[in-house]
Amino acid sequence: MTTPSRRRVGRPRAQERPDDGGLTPREEVLAAAAELFTHHGYTATSTRTIAERAGLRQASLYHHFDGKEAILAALLEGTVHPSLDVARRLVARSEASPEARLWALCHSDAALLCGGPHNLGALYLLPEVQADRFAVFHRVRSELKACYGTLLAATEPGSLLSAEDLELRTDLVFGLSESVILIRRAGPDRVPEALATATADAALRVTGVAQRSLARLRREGQLLLAAGD
């Protein structure tokens, strides 16, 4: 059996490689599953196929995961934890304008979603993801969305919204960031940086930020992201 090629999983920071550049067996399973789930379908992929692609015996796969649902849950959680970490840092940066922080969050989130080798965000749409097994994924994703709402509420346009309108506007802005999942599916060759920037710009326009302010807020947001690297 040939050695599987090394590949990263999910959003760029979701699965860190060891210092020597290799992948652990668990990471190999996740990398194999990411490729198979997104290219061949979750239902059509068996744990046996995942193990073979990862270069493992099927029994060895069960040493790391108790089944296919557990693998999918780990992949999905890996797509939201990095963005929540960024969101928490940006919420805490109270010295920066909320508009610039919201731009930075939208850009970072969209870039992570469309920057990996496999479009794992498309797995959000699977009916299986509604099961209790994926409660952690849904909780973390809800926390991430709440950070969007916190930043949006702190903007000048957001501060004028009723609670109901703020909730709706948060849904729209959060949905814009995740819309890159479908855009990537339709156009997989799009440049992630350009798509992330356009998404973040559009998100601020949805919040009510004037067009004339976008260039300044984009620069401020880029500086915030650079400071967090």
Whether residue 140 is contained in a domain is answered as yes
Whether residue 56 is contained in a domain is answered as no
| pLDDT (0 to 100) of residue 228 | 82
- Long-range contacts, stretch 192-199, CB < 8 angstroms, 24+ apart: 192/111, 192/114, 192/115, 193/111, 195/110, 195/111, 195/114, 196/106, 196/107, 196/108, 196/110, 196/111, 196/114, 197/107, 199/106, 199/107, 199/110
Whether residue 20 is contained in a domain is answered as no
| pLDDT (0 to 100) of residue 157 | 84
Whether residue 31 is contained in a domain is answered as no
Whether residue 206 is contained in a domain is answered as yes
* CATH for 85: 1.10.357
What are the structure tokens assigned to 128, written together?
A: 């299986």
**Number of structural domains in the chain:** 1
| pLDDT (0 to 100) of residue 203 | 95
Whether residue 41 is contained in a domain is answered as no
| pLDDT (0 to 100) of residue 36 | 98
The residues, any chain, with a CB within 8 Å of residue 38's CB and separated by 6 or more, are 118, 119, 120, 122, 123
Question: Can you tell me the mean pLDDT for 192-217?
Answer: 95
| pLDDT (0 to 100) of residue 7 | 42
Whether residue 52 is contained in a domain is answered as no
Instruction: Give the pLDDT confidence of 9-48 residue by residue, as tens digits.
Output: 333 333 333 333 488 999 999 999 999 999 999 999 999 9
| pLDDT (0 to 100) of residue 116 | 87
The boundaries of the domain holding residue 158 are 72-228
Whether residue 21 is contained in a domain is answered as no
Compare 8 and 150 and report the one with higher pLDDT: 150
Instruction: Give the pLDDT confidence of 58-115 residue by residue, as tens digits.
Output: 999 999 999 999 999 999 999 999 999 999 999 999 999 999 999 999 999 999 999 8
| pLDDT (0 to 100) of residue 159 | 86
